[in-house]
Amino acid sequence: GESVGLHLPTLSVQEGDNSIINCAYSNSASDYFIWYKQESGKGPQFIIDIRSNMDKRQGQRVTVLLNKTVKHLSLQIAATQPGDSAVYFCAENSDSWGKLQFGAGTQVVVTP
Amino acid sequence: DTEVTQTPKHLVMGMTNKKSLKCEQHMGHRAMYWYKQKAKKPPELMFVYSYEKLSINESVPSRFSPECPNSSLLNLHLHALQPEDSALYLCASSQEEWTGGTYGYTFGSGTRLTVV
């Protein structure tokens, strides 16, 4: 399933399925993007990042896609596990204009 | 050591109390940040320190007073807080100000503050 991370929506995913979390970023000058995972009671944990000179980057079970034309970022989680249940935030940054700007977040709930 | 350590993890304080939050990192990062996070909301920037000097104050009320004693430590002094200041206070660090580096901005686990 898909979800747009604008108003902290909830994405329910069955264990073992793939998750897609979307994020629309605001500034066309942003050149660095990060996905964070935040579990209840903890701080944001770095998942993966991507610079604007790339359109895809893969990590362990995660892939980030960047579409600069429409200012869209997505995080794909393969074979979602119960431990993936958390709030996911995208964040954008530019070394030239500074400030890490966070998106609203998406709550991911993994069901057995 | 690739962590940002925050203490205490939980803090309950009265509106007339004075307390301090502490943050420590030993990654050699020269920029440190304080964020405030309300439930179900993204973190909001409060302060930025770069090379131990205050770089950004996001118009934070004076009842919050940051301090950077050295390149590894960041404190947030609290005085005469209001109940609406109750939140998760997060510390983060990065190699340089607004330069994410290899692992972006590293966040601590936060201090859960309740003002009564």
DSSP string over B15-74: TT-EEEEEEEE-S--SEEEEEEE-TTS--EEEEEEETTEEEEE-S--TTEEEEEEETTEE
pLDDT at B99 over 70: no
Does residue B35 carry a pLDDT above 60? Answer: yes
Q: Identify the top-confidence range among A8-12, A39-43, B59-63.
A: B59-63
B90/A95 Cβ within 8 A: no
Question: Is residue A84 domain-resident?
Answer: no
pLDDT confidence of residue A30: 87
- Structural domain contains residue A2: no
User: Is residue A3 pLDDT above 60, yes or no?
Assistant: no
pLDDT over 90 percentage in chain B: 85
Is residue A40 situated within a structural domain?
Answer: yes
B108 touches A: beta carbon within 8 Å: yes
Query: How distant is the Cα of B74 from the closest Cα of chain A, in angstroms?
Result: 16
Report if residue A5 sits inside a domain.
no
Residues B45-49: contacts with CB under 8 Å, at least 24 apart = B45/A99, B45/A100, B46/B76, B47/B76, B48/B97, B48/B98, B49/B74
pLDDT at A5: 40
Instruction: Check if the beta carbon of residue A64 is closer than 8 Å to that of residue A56.
Output: yes
CA distance B89 to chain A (A): 9
Domain annotation covers residue A53? yes
User: What value does the mean pLDDT take over residues B96-100?
Assistant: 69
pLDDT band of residue A96 (cuts 50, 70, 90) is low
Residues of A in contact with B107 (CB under 8 A): 36, 43-46
Please name the amino acid found at residue A84: D
Q: Is A27 a member of any domain?
A: yes
Contacting residues of A for B41, CB less than 8 Å apart: 8, 104-105
Find the domain containing A40 and state its range.
19-79+89-95
For residue A100, is it within any domain? no
Supply the pLDDT for residue B107.
94
The reported pLDDT for the residue numbered A1 is: 38
> How many domains is chain A built from?
1
**CATH number, position A51:** 2.60.40.10
Please say if the pLDDT value at position A99 is more than 70: yes
